[in-house]
A and B are shown apart, each in its own frame.
Chain A
Amino acid sequence: KAGVTQTPRYLIKTRGQQVTLSCSPISGHRSVSWYQQTPGQGLQFLFEYFSETQRNKGNFPGRFSGRQFSNSRSEMNVSTLELGDSALYLCASSTTGNSYNEQFFGPGTRLTVL
C-alpha cells in the first residue's frame, strides 16, 4: 500500500498570501488529521476530518481551514499568511480516527513565509 502523500513538499510564500496544502491518505483510511510543527511550539493539532466532516479542531485562528473530499483526500488552507505560519505541516491518516487505530504520517509540507 502506498503511504500518506503530501503535496507540495516545499512552499515559499509572502506575508498576506494564501496557501493550500494537500494530503492523500492511505487507501481505505477515512480519517485525516493535520498538525503544525515548529521549533518553538512543537507539534500542535490543527483539525481532523472524517467522512468529509470536521470532527475535531485545535486552537488555531480561523485563517486555518480545511476540507475533505469524498475520496478522503484532504486539503488545508491558510489565508493571510503571517511570518509565524512558517512551519512543517504534517498530515496523518488512520482507518477511523479512533485512538486505538494507528495514525500514519506523511512526509510533510514545509511552508516558509517571507
Chain B
Amino acid sequence: AQTVTQSQPEMSVQEAETVTLSCTYDTSESDYYLFWYKQPPSRQMILVIRQEAYKQQNATENRFSVNFQKAAKSFSLKISDSQLGDAAMYFCAYRRSGNTPLVFGKGTRLSVIA
C-alpha cells in the first residue's frame, strides 16, 4: 500500500520569508501524481500544486514550488515570500494513475508570524 509521510507536524515562518515543507512517499508504481493541498482554518481544502511523476521539471505556481526527487521519493513544498494568508494545514497527497483515491499525509500546520 502506498503511504505518505510528513515528518513536520508544525512549522512557523516569518512573513516575507521562505519555508520548505517536507514529504516522502512510498510506492512501487511508476505512474502517479503528487499534490500539495492547503486547508485554512475552518475553510475548504484547496489544491496548491501538483506534479506528474513522469515530468522531470519541478512544478511551480507563483510563490509555490516543489522539489520532486523521484528516486528518493521526496516531494517538498517551498513557499516563498510567505504571507499571513498562507497560514493553514498543508497536506501532501499521492494518487496512482487511473481512477484511484488520494492518499494523504498527516499534514503540517504552518504558522506565519507577522
**Count of interface residues, chain B, beta-carbon cutoff 8 Å:** 24
**Count of interface residues, chain A, beta-carbon cutoff 8 Å:** 27
Contacts of B100 in A (CB 8 A): 56, 99
A24-51 residues with Cβ-Cβ distance < 8 A to B are 31, 33, 35, 42-45, 48, 50
B21-37 residues with Cβ-Cβ distance < 8 A to A are 32-33, 37
B57 located at the interface, meaning its Cβ lies under 8 Å from any Cβ of chain A in the complex:
no
B90 located at the interface, meaning its Cβ lies under 8 Å from any Cβ of chain A in the complex:
no
| Measured CA separation A44–B106 after assembly (Å) | 10
Contact status B105-A98, CB under 8 Å = no
Contacts of B107 in A (CB 8 A): 42-43
A sample of 15 more A-B contacts (CB under 8 A), given A42-B107, A106-B44, is: A35-B104, A42-B106, A44-B104, A45-B101, A45-B102, A56-B100, A92-B102, A98-B98, A98-B99, A99-B95, A99-B96, A99-B97, A99-B100, A100-B97, A103-B47
